[in-house]
Each structure stands twice: as structure tokens, then as C-alpha cells.
Structure 1
Amino acid sequence: MQRFFPVLIGLVIVLAVLSSCVFIVRERDAALVFALGEVRETITEPGLYFKFPPPFENVVRLDKRLQTIENNDPERIQTAEKKNLLIDSFVKWRISDPRLFYVTFGANDRAAVERLTAQIRDALNASVNVRTVKEVVANERDTIMREVLENVAVRAKPLGVEVIDVRLRRIDFAPEISESVYRRMEAERKQEANRLRASGTADSERIRAQADRERQEILAKAYVQAQQVRGEGDAKAASVYSAAYGKNPEFFRLYKSLDAYESAFADGKGTMVLSPKSEFFKFWNSATGQGDDTAPATP
């Protein structure tokens, strides 16, 4: 047993040396291989790699996954109207060049987050300071995010960082201007409501006037048509009367007299003071209407 003990120790030493010469790079990592303090190789692909044992070479790993900077303390930024806004944003970023990143920040992600946060603050100030509250809150929000992304991406690239996205999560008014902004918004809404109400009233008057004009036109056309039909009816009636009168004038006179008698005594209460020999009673006194004096007068 004592004879194998030195062999076992030697085997352990060999295994330790071999293990220090092998390292694994995972998919989420990037590896920097240092030789006597200088970067000899940058490895971004996952796999099994070999190196010289320390202190000749050593490995530093960096996380190359997508990371997020969440600003839990909203930035207080002033608009072109000198109004303060509280803007809450977040940023998606990752390491694009491990060598540059290590030269700038070492293996300290916190330093990178602080630098990016400062750059985002500067970019937000540059974009918001030249716009009004309405533009920042509603009209040009997407434009501001695009400008901030482009600004920060250009400034972060020399640091070995790629900025993927910048989003404005929430924009609030500072407490000292909230009330004045709400009052102004209320006044604008009232003004818009009054404008729409006036426009609606004008439209209703126009529609009512148009309807009245069309009504008058329809009534006028209907009256014309009615008069035309009435005239045609009267003409036909006159034609029928004329034809009847031409066939038997004496009977036609009798018929008209009977019509007159019926109209005169229809209610049974009327009183007429006329001579029995008047033209009105010519058929009353004589069936032929010739005024036969020998015939007794009908009371």
C-alpha cells in the first residue's frame, strides 16, 4: 500500500493539472482567456476548450444574455414649456463585444448599468426638453423612444454594449403641475364639446330647412296633381252632363230642379218666401214645366 501511495498522489496532481487546463463555455456566457494579464482569446461559442494552467492562463466569463435595466425611480425631466414630468423607462441590452466590455467595466455589470442609466437620462432630456407636454404624453411618444434608442445605441457601442430596445413605461405629471394641467385639459374638452354642439345645431337646422323645403315641394307637386285630376274630372263630368243634356234637355232640367228641391228642403226646417209661379217652382206646379194654370197648385 505504501508503494502505491506516491503513485496515487502523482495521479491526483496530474488530474488537478489537467482539470485546470480544461474549461467549458456555456451558451449564455462569453469567455476571455488571459495570458499573463493580457487577453489572448475571446470565445463566444459554447463548447469544451483547453488552456495552460494558472498562472500562465486564466479565464473570465461574462454573461451575454439579454438583460434589463428597470428604472424604479422615475426621472424628473422638464419639457419645452418648463413643466416637470416623471418618466419611468426600461432598457433591454446585452454584451456585444466581450473584450471592449471588459476593458471598460471589467467583470462588473453594475458599472455598465450605471453608465447606461446615465446615458438614457441624457438622451431623454435631449428629446423631451424640446417638446411640449402634449407631444410627450400623446402625439410623439413613439418618436421619443426611437430617438432615445438611436442616441443610446450609438454611445453604448464603443463600450461593447448593444442596446436592443428602450421603452417609456409610464409618464406622470409632477404634483405641482397636475392640477393646472387637468384644468387646461378640462377647458380644452369643454371647448371641443361646445364646438361639436354648435356644429350639430347648425347641421340640424340645415337638415330641418332642407326637409321643410322638400315638404313644400312635395305638397306643391301634390296640389298641382290634385288640381289637374280635379280639372280632368270636372271636364269629364261636364262632358257627361252635356251629352245627357243634348239627348233630353227637358229631362235634364227636371233632374236639376229635383236636385235643387232636395237641397232646399233637406233639413226640413228651412223657410222660403217665393211666388208659386216663380221659375224655381215651374216643375212643382206642372210636371211638364210649361206652367199649366188649370192644374191646382201644390201647397
Structure 2
Amino acid sequence: MRKSAFILPAIVVVAVVALSSMYIVDEREKALVLQFGRVVAVKEDPGLAFKIPLIQQVVTYDDRILSRDVQPLEVTPLDDRRLVVDAFARYRIADVNRFRQAVGAGGVGAAETRLDSILRSQTREILGSVSSNDILSSDRAALMLQIRDGAIGEARGLGVDIIDVRLKSTELPSQNLSATFDRMRAEREREATDERARGNEAAQRVRAQADRTVVELVSDAKRQAEIIRGESDAKRNAIFAEAFGRDPEFFEFYRSLTAYTRALKGGNSTMVMTPNSEFFNYLKSAEGAGKSAVSSQPAQQTQKVLPGVASE
């Protein structure tokens, strides 16, 4: 009974000591074995491992790729147009022994604080060497690579590898938005004014060319019309001359009828002439013409008044 009373506690103590001397390293972690605060072993492979109980302790660190959001910072590019940049970085603890020596018991929190300082410094340096248009353009991937490459060297002192650096957003400070929008609006209005001026100039050229074309077309049409009219009049006169040349008496008769048509109208002024005037030759009968030829004394002359004509 007495032996069993001593054996059972001894077994418990041995079991506790045995369990406390074992530790398991997860495949997502790396482990350091510390003895009185000094690193005595590094366990990077997953599995079961042993340590001296009560004397040694195990500290584990995440072996996965971690993400760190950098606090928004204000940068001043070459054109003095201030910008607020929001960035983040992805990193991994590459050397846990150096990492422990660099940050001590502060762990990941202390490392990220120092990492923030490195990233902010590199971001200000790189973005301050270019213009704001380069930062705001879609071709800023090269700038992010420069920030990452510049931070890699400093981060290695912490035992950390910088995998990537990205700019999440790049915005104007709130106090500068109104002035920037006013300047952008003024630039757009100036461009619109220039476009309208060029449009009006082009319209003036088109209208002037159209007016010139109209004048040329009308002038050419009138010229052709005058030529055609002249040729037609010439043909008409040639036809009349040929017709009248065949019968001069008919030509005289036609001219007299034309004169009667034009002269004996109700709206004409009153004409006073003797009945023996040659104007009335074709209005007299053959008998009247013979009598008027025999009678030659003025007292025996008869007077005839036609409508619209007064005789003396």
C-alpha cells in the first residue's frame, strides 16, 4: 500500500514532465526554443519535438503570408499637388531567429510597427519623385514595384520578406478638393470654348465656300441662259426675216396689226390724227381709200374718230 501510494504520484509527475517536454509544430508555423531568453533551437519543420521542461520555452510565429494595411499618409509629388495615399503590404517571416532578435518579445505587433515606418518612408520617397499625373494614372504598377524593392532591403533586417506592395487608393485631401474641382472645371470650360471657336471658324469657311459656289452657279446659269436666249432670238429673227422677205406686203400688214394691237388699248392716252394717216391704211376699205385719194381739198376732207383716237 505504501509503495503504491508513492508510485502513483511519481507516475503523474513523470507524465506531466514528459508532456511538458513535448511540443508540436503546426505546418503553418515556425517555432523557436528559448532558454533563459536566448534562442537555442529553431524548428521549421512540422511535427513533434522536445524541449527541456521548465527551463526551455517555445515561441511560435506564423509562417503564412501576412497582410499589413499602412495608415493613410499624405505625399507631395513634384508638381506640389498633395495626395492622400492608402496602401497595404504582404509580407512573410523568413528568418525567425533574426526576427526574434530584431523585435524581441514584441512579436508581430512590434515588427508591423517598424514595417509601417519602412513602407511610409519608401512611399514618400518614391511618390515624391514623380508627378501627380503619374501616380493617378493606370500605369502606376512600376511605382509600386519601386516601393516594394526599396522596402525589401530594410525589411530583411527584421527577418521579413516583402512580397508585394499595393496602393489601394490615391485621393486629394478634402481641403483641396474644391480648388482642384474649380481648376478642372475652368480647364474644361476653356477647352470647350476653344472647340466652339474652332467649330465656328469651320462653319464660317463652309458658309463662305457655299456662298461662293452659289454665286458661281447662278452666274454660270445666267450666262448660259443669256447665250441660249441670244441664240433663240437670233434664230427667231432669222425665221422672221426669211418669212417676211418672201412677202414684203404681208410683212407690212403684220407690222400694222402689231401697231394697232399695241396702240389701240383702253388705257392708252388719246391720240389725235387725220383719217388719211398712213397708220390707218389697212383699216380703210378699197372704196374709201379711192375717194380719199380723189378728194384733195382740205375743206372736203372727212374726219373719222376711232375708239381711243381723236381726229383733227
User: TM range, normalised to the smaller chain?
Assistant: 0.5 to 0.7
- Tell me the equivalent position of 1:64: 64
Deviations 1:113-161 (A, max 9, x none): 3233223322332244445xxx41x454246663244133332252522
Deviations 1:60-97 (A, max 9, x none): 241524524152xx4233344656x3503121413173
- Is 1:51–2:49 an aligned residue pair? yes
Q: Distance in 2 between matches of 1:274 and 1:117?
A: 128
- Matched residue type, 1:153: D
Aligned residues: 276
Asked whether the equivalents of residues 92 and 161 of structure 2 are also in contact (C-alpha less than 8 Å), the reply is: yes
TM alignment of 1:1-299, pairs within 5 A:
13=15, 17=19, 20=22, 22-25=24-27, 29-32=28-31, 34=33, 37-38=39-40, 40-43=42-45, 49-52=47-50, 58=58, 60-65=60-65, 67-71=67-71, 74-80=72-78, 85-95=82-92, 97=94, 99=96, 104-105=102-103, 108-130=107-129, 135-136=131-132, 138=133, 140-142=135-137, 146-156=142-152, 158=156, 159=158, 160-167=160-167, 169-173=169-173, 175=175, 181=180, 184-185=183-184, 187-266=186-265, 268-271=266-269, 272-278=271-277, 280-285=279-284, 293-294=289-290, 299=306
Instruction: Decide whether aligned partners of structure 1 residues 139 and 128 sit closer, same or farther in structure 2, where only a CA change above 3 A counts.
Output: closer
Asked whether the equivalents of residues 31 and 61 of structure 1 are also in contact (C-alpha less than 8 Å), the reply is: yes
1:270 match: secondary structure: coil
Q: Distance in 1 between matches of 2:30 and 2:278?
A: 138
Instruction: Decide whether aligned partners of structure 1 residues 101 and 229 sit closer, same or farther in structure 2, where only a CA change above 3 A counts.
Output: farther
Instruction: Decide whether aligned partners of structure 1 residues 164 and 283 sit closer, same or farther in structure 2, where only a CA change above 3 A counts.
Output: farther
% identity of equivalent residues: 26
Quote the RMSD (CA, aligned, Å): 4.4
TM-score, normalization: structure 1? 0.68
Q: Distance in 2 between matches of 1:39 and 1:265?
A: 143
Instruction: Decide whether aligned partners of structure 1 residues 273 and 124 sit closer, same or farther in structure 2, where only a CA change above 3 A counts.
Output: farther
Instruction: Decide whether aligned partners of structure 1 residues 278 and 52 sit closer, same or farther in structure 2, where only a CA change above 3 A counts.
Output: farther
Q: Distance in 1 between matches of 2:172 and 2:79?
A: 15
The structure having more radius of gyration, on CA atoms, is: 2
Asked whether the equivalents of residues 25 and 43 of structure 2 are also in contact (C-alpha less than 8 Å), the reply is: no
Please, which runs of 5 or more residues in structure 2 have no aligned partner?
293-303, 307-312
TM-score, normalization: structure 2? 0.65
- Matched residue type, 1:223: K
